[in-house]
Chain A
Amino acid sequence: MTNQVLPRKAAARITAAFTDAGVTGRLHALDIDTGATVSVAGTQPVPTSSLHKVPLLATLYREAAAGRLDRTRQIEIPTEARTPGLSGLAVMRDAVRLSLRDLATLVVAVSDNAAADVLWREVGLDTVNRTMAELGLPETVAVHLMTDIHDLLRADRAAPDPSDVNGFSALDPARTNRSTPQELTALFAAVWRDEVCGGELGAELRSLLGGQAWTHRLASGFPFDDVRVSGKTATLPTLRAEAAVVEYPDGGRYAVAVFTRAASPATVLPAADAVIGTTARIAVDALRLR
């Protein structure tokens, strides 16, 4: 099989899998070591929502590597003014004191919006955007915090028919934090190639990105005990996404980003979650066959 035929066949199977799951999707997969790719509309802009926590944490560690920030510094986090959310500090009832890197751990483990916004305020939107530009990711732009996305969604929900998500600002990449599947894979690849930060910090950042608690999306496509999936999800009404690095014991490592939009506005759609794993594996299998 030639190098062109295979990704084309994979792309057709990926599109068919999206359709079968009742979603439309965008996918970009990158072999971190060879640069080979599989892409389905992978360069189009997508709203990043919780996936922008990865540029945030990459910047946190890059700033730490540059000596501009101490990731072990502890911060008092009172109960007041915490960003609303459904996990982590957002649901806790008492004041806590945590280091920046432990906040980062919560951000990945349970997509903690409150912890993320503490870090956004410490690191700054501009620093994150500048860092992404430095890494060659100009389409990866943050314009607001998790709390602002929360406010946009509350306003969107007040629309005459809240199940009609077409006009939702939080889903419009022009009006919220954005990137492309391709740039997100490039960011994960940079983390795995020590290009964001090296040494102990690089290893710590990768370990932290391996700590996500749930496995219903991208990891569901790799139910293999000896394969490591380090990913971060993003969820908005009808939008389900995850970007991750998949590492095989033979040394193969692949960055994959999958964004789906479901036809149904239902909150719980197992097939739409699982197709993120299904399509990621089709892409990774194609890259491994080359």
Chain B
Amino acid sequence: MDLLAHLRYFRAVAEEQHFGRAAVRLRLAQPSLSQRIQRLEREFGVRLFDRGRGGAVLTPAGRLVLAQAEPLLDAADRLQSVVGRLQDGEAGTLRAAVPDQLGGAAVAALLTTFRERSPGGELDLRELNSRDQVAELIAGTLDVGIVRHPNPAAGLAFGPILHQPLGVLLPSDDPLAAQPSVDLRALAGRDLAMPPRATAPALHDETLTACARHGFTPNTVRGVEGLEFTRALIMAGAGLVALIPEPAPAPGTIWRPLTGDPLTWRTSVAWRPGHDGPAVRIFAEAAFDALRTRGGMHTSVPEQQRFPRPVSEFAL
């Protein structure tokens, strides 16, 4: 016996208090409905309705059964709806990753936006550097990620590029902390803490080149992983700074934007081509919108003048 189906018939008769009206509502023949209710009564071993000329009235046992059946049927309805959305890709566990130092506000905005757009969707979100994300996306152990560019990953699909401005993390008592924004040139002579080059060689080099372009060549570059350890080293003094997106405030260090936003990290959503089901698409759109509106990222930077050089071999 399909218990849930029979409970639905039972509930309809109880609500209509009449076999004929309930049969019309359920689009069943009345004798067929009567048989099904009798079958349920046999199953439970109790009489559920007092049947008379005026209709069908719940017995005391029937009232108790109805009280238990209603939450059961509601739960079944919710289950049905979740299954439906799973089939549509709006729900289910999506394995996703964000890079380190995306910023607390950005991650919070991403989570909120994703939940709004995918109410039943479960998100298994991890922090992973871009290199590991690329490896996991290709291996299929990650469905979607937010990666930094330049990223030499072949065989991945990318969403639109967003630019995340970097600022400088200083000791709170640093003289430069008194300024609302810091000119990169003022960092001359400092040491720079950066994630180890091996985690993202192209990004590492591009960041240092952009620093040099704007007048900051660090004395030494220290490979440091993780925001907490970075903060600890900066608080220890000795002229060490880090160039990162705005982090959540914490005592001992202070973050200041760079004058003129000379440094940005380019970021986009990445997935395996052909594996962009509805959940991945919802995540990609949620990430783009959340990072842009609440993560401090922007979609474009002013186009850079480029001088033709003979080594480029084509005059474009």
Q: Given the complex, which residues of B lie within 8 Å of A212, measured CB to CB?
A: 310
Q: Is A263 an interface residue (CB 8 A)?
A: no
B185 x A249 contact (CB < 8 A): no
- Of the stretches A83-91, A140-148, A181-189, A282-290, the one at the interface is A282-290
Question: Does chain B have a CB within 8 A of A211?
Answer: yes
Q: Which of B235-253 contact A (CB under 8 A)?
A: none
Across-interface contacts of A53 in B (CB, < 8 A): none
Q: Is the CB of B215 within 8 A of A285?
A: yes
Given A281-B217, A289-B185, CB of A226 within 8 Å of CB of B310: no
Closest A residue to B311 by CB, please name it. A215
Query: Any chain A CB within 8 A of the CB of B309?
Result: yes
**Smallest beta-carbon distance B10→chain A, Å:** 75
Interface 9-mer from B121-129, B278-286, B300-308:
B300-308
Interface residues on A, range: 20 to 34
From known contacts A223-B209, A249-B305, infer whether A289 and B310 are also in contact, taking CB-CB under 8 Å: no
Chain B residues, CB < 8 A from A215: 309, 311
Per-residue interface assignment for chain A, residues 204 to 234, with 1 indicating a CB less than 8 Å from any chain B CB and 0 otherwise: 0000001111110001000111111000000
Near B by CB (< 8 A), chain A positions 99-119 give 109
Contact with A along B181-198 (1 / 0, CB 8 A): 000010011000000000
Give the Cβ gap from A250 to chain B, nearest Cβ, in Å: 10
Q: B212 in the interface, Cβ–Cβ < 8 Å?
A: yes
CB-CB under 8 A from A224, the residues of chain B are 209, 212-213
Assess whether B217 is in contact with A282, with CB atoms less than 8 Å apart. yes
Is A289 a contact partner of B309 (Cβ separation < 8 A)? no
Report the separation of the CA atoms of residues A9 and B215 in the bound assembly, to the nearest whole angstrom: 15
Of B212, B217, B307, the contact of A226 (CB 8 Å cutoff): B307
- B282-316 contacts to A, CB under 8 A, are 304-307, 309-311
Residue of A nearest to B210 (CB): A224
A223 CA to B311 CA in the complex, in Å? Answer: 12
Asked, given contacts A223-B209, A289-B185, whether A213 binds B311 with beta carbons under 8 Å apart, the answer is yes
Chain B residue at minimal CB-CB distance from A228: B307
Contacts of B307 in A (CB 8 A): 210, 225-228
Return the chain B residue nearest A215 by Cβ.
Answer: B311
A109 & B217 in contact (Cβ 8 Å cutoff): no
Tell me if B217 and A225 are in contact (CB < 8 A).
no
In the bound complex, CA of A226 to CA of B209 (Å): 12
Would you give 17 A-B contacts (Cβ < 8 Å), ordered by A? Answer: A109-B310, A210-B307, A213-B311, A214-B311, A215-B309, A215-B311, A223-B209, A223-B212, A224-B209, A225-B304, A226-B213, A226-B304, A227-B213, A249-B305, A288-B185, A289-B185, A289-B215
The 6 nearest A-B residue pairs measured at CB = A224-B213, A213-B310, A228-B307, A225-B306, A226-B305, A226-B304
Q: Interface residues, chain B, CB within 8 Å of chain A?
A: 185, 188-189, 209, 212-213, 215, 217, 304-307, 309-311
Which residues of A are interface residues toward B (Cβ below 8 A)?
Answer: 9, 109, 210-215, 219, 223-228, 249, 281-282, 285, 288-289
